[in-house]
Structure 1
Amino acid sequence: MDRENIGLLLAVAAARGTSAANHALRAAPGVVAALDARAYSVLEQAILGDGPSQRDLAGQLRLDPSQIVALVDGLQDKGLVERRRDPADRRRYAVAATAAGLEAYAVGRLRIEDSLDDLLADLDPAERTTLHNLLHRIVRPAQVGAGTRE
Structure 2
Amino acid sequence: MSDTTSGRPGTATAAVPAAVPGDLGWDLGMVLRGYQTRFEAAVAGMPAGIRGFQVLSAVVHKDPPNQQALGAHLAIDRTVLTYLLDTLVDAGVVERIPDPADRRARKIIATASGRQMLAAYEERVAAAEADLLAGLEADDARDLGLLISRLARNVHRTQPGASPCEAMDNL
For the structure 1 residues 69 and 15, does the alpha-carbon distance in structure 2 shift closer, same or farther, using more than 3 Å as the test?
A: farther
What amino acid is the match of 2:131?
D
Cα distance in 1 for residues equivalent to 2:80 and 2:139: 36
Shift of 1:139: 3.4
Q: 1:72 aligns with which of 72, 85, 95?
A: 85
- Match of residue 10 from structure 2: none
- 47-56 or 94-103, which deviates more: 47-56
| 3-state SS in 2 of match to 1:101 | helix
Say if 1:12 and 1:101 are closer, same or farther in 2 by CA, change over 3 A: same
Aligned to 1:29: none
Q: TM-score, normalised by structure 1?
A: 0.81
SS in 1 for 2:43: helix
Distance (Å, rounded) in 2 between the aligned partners of 1:15 and 1:92: 37
- Greater CA radius of gyration, 1 or 2? 2
Aligned to 1:88: 101
Structure 2 CA distance for partners of 1:143 and 1:87, relative to 1, 3 Å: farther
Aligned partner of residue 123 in structure 1, secondary structure: coil
Residues of 2 paired with 1:83 and 1:97: CA distance? 9
Question: Unpaired runs of 5+ in structure 2?
Answer: 1-18, 163-171
Is residue 145 of structure 2 the alignment partner of residue 132 of structure 1? yes
Give the secondary-structure state (helix, strand or coil) at the position aligned to 2:107.
Answer: strand
TM-score (norm 2): 0.72
- Give, in angstroms, the shift of residue 50 of structure 1: 1.7
Partner of 1:47: 60
User: Identity of aligned pairs, percent?
Assistant: 28
Distance (Å, rounded) in 2 between the aligned partners of 1:107 and 1:88: 32
- Residue correspondence of structure 1 range 53-64 to structure 2 within 5 A: 53-64=66-77
Question: What SS does the corresponding residue of 1:21 show, helix, strand or coil?
Answer: helix
After TM superposition, the structure 1 stretch with the greater mean CA deviation from structure 2, 50-59 or 85-94, is 50-59
Calculate the aligned-residue CA RMSD, in Å: 2.4
Counterpart check, 1:101 vs 2:114:
yes
**1:85 and 1:73 mapped to 2: Cα distance?**
16
The 2-side partners of 1:10 and 1:53 are apart by 33
Conserved in 1, the CA contact under 8 Å of 2:96 and 2:108? yes
Measured in 1, the distance between the counterparts of 2:134 and 2:88 equals: 32
Number of the residue aligned with 2:168? none
Higher mean displacement: 35-44 or 4-13: 4-13
Q: Distance in 2 between matches of 1:34 and 1:74?
A: 7
Cα 1:114–1:123 shift into 2, 3 Å:
same
